[in-house]
A and B are shown apart, each in its own frame.
Chain A
Amino acid sequence: MVKTRSDALFHLVLLALAGWFLQQAWHLPANAAGGSLSPAFFPRAISLSIVILLLVSMVRGLIAGTLLSRDTSDSENATPVWVPVLAWCAIALLLVLYALFLEPLGYVVSTALFLFLCVAIVSVLSHQRGDAIKPVRVLMLALFSAAVSVAIFLIFSVGFEIVLPTIGVMGV
């Protein structure tokens, strides 16, 4: 995977976030009762320190030449470079969708779907060209996902008395 100037980019993202926290901290009341520190003191001091340290780190990186360097350590790998990036994004998106649908779909359905899709994404992306996807394996995975999600639901809700989201059909 190529990380092109991404160390610099990540520094900039953190810098923007810290700057935003700093800007927000300016709206906090800065008057302190009884000679103590104000509620704004810590947020301001901390976000300011982050900004300064990040700038120092960037300058250091520039001098050492690591900040803008291309990292090509895994470039000799057989898999195309976009595959891991795509996989990462797909899993991240799937996680967000799982969180979104956890309550509307209920625990059992959403978890079964999540498990199925999560394994399926990794399998499909790591799948070698020419190999056929066997329907039996897909069915097995579907059964596995359903069984695991029901089992976990029962263990947590009945065993550990944890309230999980349900849609009220047959108790799930």
Chain B
Amino acid sequence: MGDYVEALGLVFQWHVLLVIGGGTLLGLIMGALPGLTAAMAIALLLPLTFGMPPVMGMGMLLGTLCGAIAGGSVSATLLNIPGTPSSVATTLDAFPMARRGEAGRALGICIVSSFIGGVFSAIVLSLLAPPIADFALRFGPAEYFALSVFGLVIIASVSSKSLLKGLVAGLIGLLIATVGTDPVAGVQRYTFNNLSLLTGVNLLPALIGLFAVSQVLKDVVDYFGGGPVEHSKSKMDHARPRWVETLRYWRVLASSSVIGTIVGAIPGAGGSIGSFLSYDQAKKMSKTPEKFGTGHPEGIVASESSNNALVGGALIPMLTLGIPGEAATAVLMGGLMIQGISPGPTLFTDNGSIIYGIFIAFFVANIFMLLIQWFGIQLFVKVLQVPRKLLMALILMFCFIGVYAVDADIFNVYLMLGFGVLGYFLNRYDFGTAPVILGLILGPIAESNIRRALLLSSGDWSVLVTRPISLTFLLVSAAFLFFTLWQNRRQTTPHS
């Protein structure tokens, strides 16, 4: 308790709060720009934290992380540019809603949902971190494989137009995921002596190509074809946080926040699938599953609350075990170590006030995220008032700089263009692009872990069903698959 009081004193000083707010603002700006990831934003601010006390420095970096995740949804909503893989699920409903002329509403729902998801994960982080970390450790290769199978089942749920074509799209993602050095034997697959392909196809160019570039290519055609390109400006001024509307979906909020936190806590599970899993279960629980994908608020709530709950979840194994799950928390952990603090179980006993200070700073960062977006939302929607011709050119410019910024590698830019053309045609012929991303994210997890699991069991496949977590995931996957097929059938029969 004494630690908590001391920690409050560490956070609630005006200069600490100012720095957390500044970090959040910068994170938001960088997160909203395509290609600038949360990890890059944190790495940029890292040197500034060296001279600061630990809680102040970590507070700033946590603010940056929260801001970057939230900022990613702004560009996902307005422009169909998912800044991070985890905001892909947001584009599925928020972008159609914005296209209908309700960008303000979509952003309003995003803001409230992400705040609630973030605060929920902060509470879990401060109360339940050690037991959740122990649960995460029970994930071995077999469990990771079963989890990725569970994730792949979502392909059925996000391919709304044609299940068969959606499956093809998902498999295309899986196939592209095999490019690069094979994770277990080290064999080169489809690399053609290209150094940039040695570690596989970079996710960011794929993401930006499949979503943003393909969208602009479609807009070019629609611009002449008389399609629905102009955002109707009539409803634009209602841009404000939508508390009542969002809280009406309290069940979706609760389940998505839980899923986001737990998936975030499993290191390396491709945290970004958390928002897909939440989207999927919201669709299954919904009375109106057919509305998903057309600009339905429930879809936005599910993906956004889960998206920000991931952040708190990802901090759990980093702080309690010293295991960073993905790039952004890895940089955060680097920041802690440079401060002279090694994360892990000893952090709680040796540096109680610091760890509680970090928890409180994370709460504060979420509040700043809400406030900044609250004031910023009017500004965000103004982006859509830029004339369409200019906006298309500017979006493409940001895609280029963002993808180039990843590794300063022009190859990634070509990759993005290739994915842009592929995505355009996949959308045009109803294959869809979201399944490709799922395949790309989950492919490496599925392949490397099944091969590791079989290596450990000397080729015995029964490990997949003799381990409780793995068996549960596989059974639930099968059940979900049948449920989705049944739901699809129910939706399509009345029409035919």
Q: Which of B314-322, B326-334, B351-359, B413-421 contacts A (4 or more CB under 8 A)?
A: B413-421
> CB within 8 A of A10: which of B167, B397, B425, B450?
B425
Contact status B167-A53, CB under 8 Å: yes
Tell whether A34 pairs with B459 under 8 Å between CB atoms, given A10-B429, A43-B189: yes
Instruction: State whether A156 touches B455 (Cβ < 8 A).
Output: no
- The reply to whether B175 and A98 contact each other, CB–CB distance below 8 Å, is no
The A-contacting residues of B in range 399-439, CB under 8 angstroms, are 400-401, 404-405, 408, 410, 413-414, 417, 420-421, 425, 428-429
Do B44 and A161 touch (CB < 8 A)? yes
CA–CA, A36 and B227, complex, Å = 52
Residues of B close to A1: CB separation below 8 A: 221, 225
A95: B residues at CB distance < 8 A: 213, 396, 417, 420
Task: Give CA–CA (A7, B165) in the complex, Å.
Answer: 12
Residues of A within 8 A of B455 (CB): 33-36
Question: CA of A127 to CA of B304 in the docked complex: distance in angstroms?
Answer: 41
Name B175's contact: one of A47, A92, A115, A162 (CB within 8 Å): A47
Is the pair A24, B225 in contact by a Cβ cutoff of 8 Å?
no
Contact present for A36 and B454 (CB under 8 Å): yes
Q: Which residues of A1-35 have CB atoms within 8 Å of chain B's CB atoms?
A: 1, 3, 6-7, 10, 13-14, 18, 21, 24-25, 28-29, 32-35
Q: Name the A residues within 8 Å of B451 (CB-CB).
A: 36-37
**Which chain B positions have C-beta within 8 A of A164?**
401, 404-405
Which of these, A56, A78, A160, contacts B164 with CB under 8 Å? A56
Q: Which chain A residue lies CB-closest to B421?
A: A92
Partner of B185, one of A29, A77, A99, A118: A29
Taking each of B224, B400, B428, B459, which has the highest tally of chain A beta carbons within 10 Å of its own beta carbon?
B224
The reply to whether B429 and A7 contact each other, CB–CB distance below 8 Å, is: yes
Q: Would you call A39 and B184 a contact (CB within 8 A)?
A: yes
A114 CB to nearest B CB, Å: 7
What's the least CB distance linking A110 to chain B, in Å? 9
Identify the stretch in B3-11, B89-97, B385-393 within 8 Å (CB) of chain A at 4 or more residues.
B385-393
**Bound form: Cα–Cα A37–B446 in Å:** 12
Using known A-B contacts A21-B190, A24-B190, A156-B405, determine if residue A87 contacts B413 with beta carbons closer than 8 Å.
no
Q: Which residue of B lies closest to A43 (CB)?
A: B178
Q: Closest CB-CB distance, A33 to chain B, in whole Å?
A: 7
Judged by a CB distance under 8 angstroms, whether B124 is at the interface is: no
Q: Are A74 and B226 in contact (CB under 8 A)?
A: yes
Partner of B400, one of A46, A83, A92, A102: A102
In whole angstroms, what is the CA distance A28 to B180 when docked?
12
CB proximity to A under 8 Å, residues B189-243:
189-190, 213, 216-217, 220-221, 223-227
Interface residue A68 (Cβ < 8 Å from any Cβ of B): no
| Contacts A77-B225, A102-B400; A33 near B417 (Cβ below 8 A) | no
Contacts of A152 in B (CB 8 A): 397, 401
Task: Tell me if B182 is interfacial: C-beta within 8 Å of chain A.
Answer: yes
Contacts A10-B429, A102-B400, A114-B393 given; indicate if A34 touches B458 (C-beta within 8 A). Answer: yes
Interface set, chain B 28-75, CB cutoff 8 A to A? 30, 36, 40, 44
A49 to chain B, nearest CB (A): 6
**A53 with B189, Cβ < 8 A, contacts A99-B417, A119-B389 known:** no
Q: How far is the CA of A162 from the CA of B396 in the complex (A)?
A: 18
A98 and B416 CA atoms in complex are apart in Å by: 13
Q: Residues of A contacting B404 with CB < 8 Å?
A: 102, 164-165
- Pairwise interchain contact A87-B401, C-beta atoms closer than 8 A: no
Known: A77-B226, A87-B224. A33 touches B389 (CB 8 A): no
Pair A84/B221 contact, Cβ less than 8 Å: yes
Which of chain A's residues has its CB closest to B43's CB? A161
- B469 in the interface, Cβ–Cβ < 8 Å? no
| Residue of A92, A98, A126 touching B223 (CB-CB under 8 A) | A126
CA distance A111 to B221 in the complex (A): 23
Q: Quick check: B220 and A99 within 8 Å, CB to CB?
A: no
Decide yes or no whether B187 CB sits under 8 A from chain A: yes
Asked if B397 contacts A111 (CB within 8 A), the reply is yes
| Nearest-neighbor residue (CB-CB) of B174 within chain A | A46
Does chain A have a CB within 8 A of B447? yes
- Among residues of A, the one whose C-beta sits closest to the C-beta of B222 is A84
Are A118 and B396 within 8 A (Cβ)? yes
Closest-CB distance, A45 to chain B (whole angstroms): 9
Cross-chain contact A35 with B458 (CB below 8 angstroms): yes
Q: Report the Cα distance A61→B410, complex, angstroms.
A: 39
CB-CB under 8 A from A96, the residues of chain B are: 417
CA distance A102 to B190 in the complex (A): 26
Kindly state whether residue B394 has any CB partner on chain A within 8 Å: yes
Does the CB pair A148–B220 fall under 8 Å?
Answer: no
Contact A99–B413 (Cβ < 8 Å): yes
Q: Which of A28, A56, A164 has the most CB of B within 10 A?
A: A28
Task: Determine if B171 and A39 form an interchain contact, defined as CB atoms under 8 angstroms apart.
Answer: no
Is B225 a contact partner of A84 (Cβ separation < 8 A)?
Answer: yes
> Given A33-B455, A53-B171, A79-B226, A115–B397 Cβ distance below 8 Å?
yes
Listed from nearest, the 3 A-B pairs whose CB atoms lie closest are: A35-B459, A118-B393, A36-B454
Residues of chain A at the chain B interface (Cβ within 8 Å):
1, 3, 6-7, 10, 13-14, 18, 21, 24-25, 28-29, 32-39, 42-43, 46-47, 49-50, 53-54, 56-57, 60, 74, 77-79, 83-84, 87-88, 91-92, 95-96, 98-99, 102-103, 107, 111, 114-115, 118-119, 122-123, 125-126, 144, 148-149, 152, 156, 160-165
Given contacts A36-B184, A160-B36, 6 further A-B contacts (CB under 8 A): A37-B454, A39-B185, A43-B189, A46-B175, A79-B225, A102-B413
Jot down 19 A-B pairs with beta carbons below 8 A, ordered by A. Answer: A10-B429, A13-B425, A14-B172, A21-B175, A32-B185, A34-B454, A35-B458, A46-B178, A49-B171, A53-B168, A54-B168, A74-B225, A84-B220, A84-B221, A115-B394, A122-B223, A144-B390, A152-B397, A160-B40
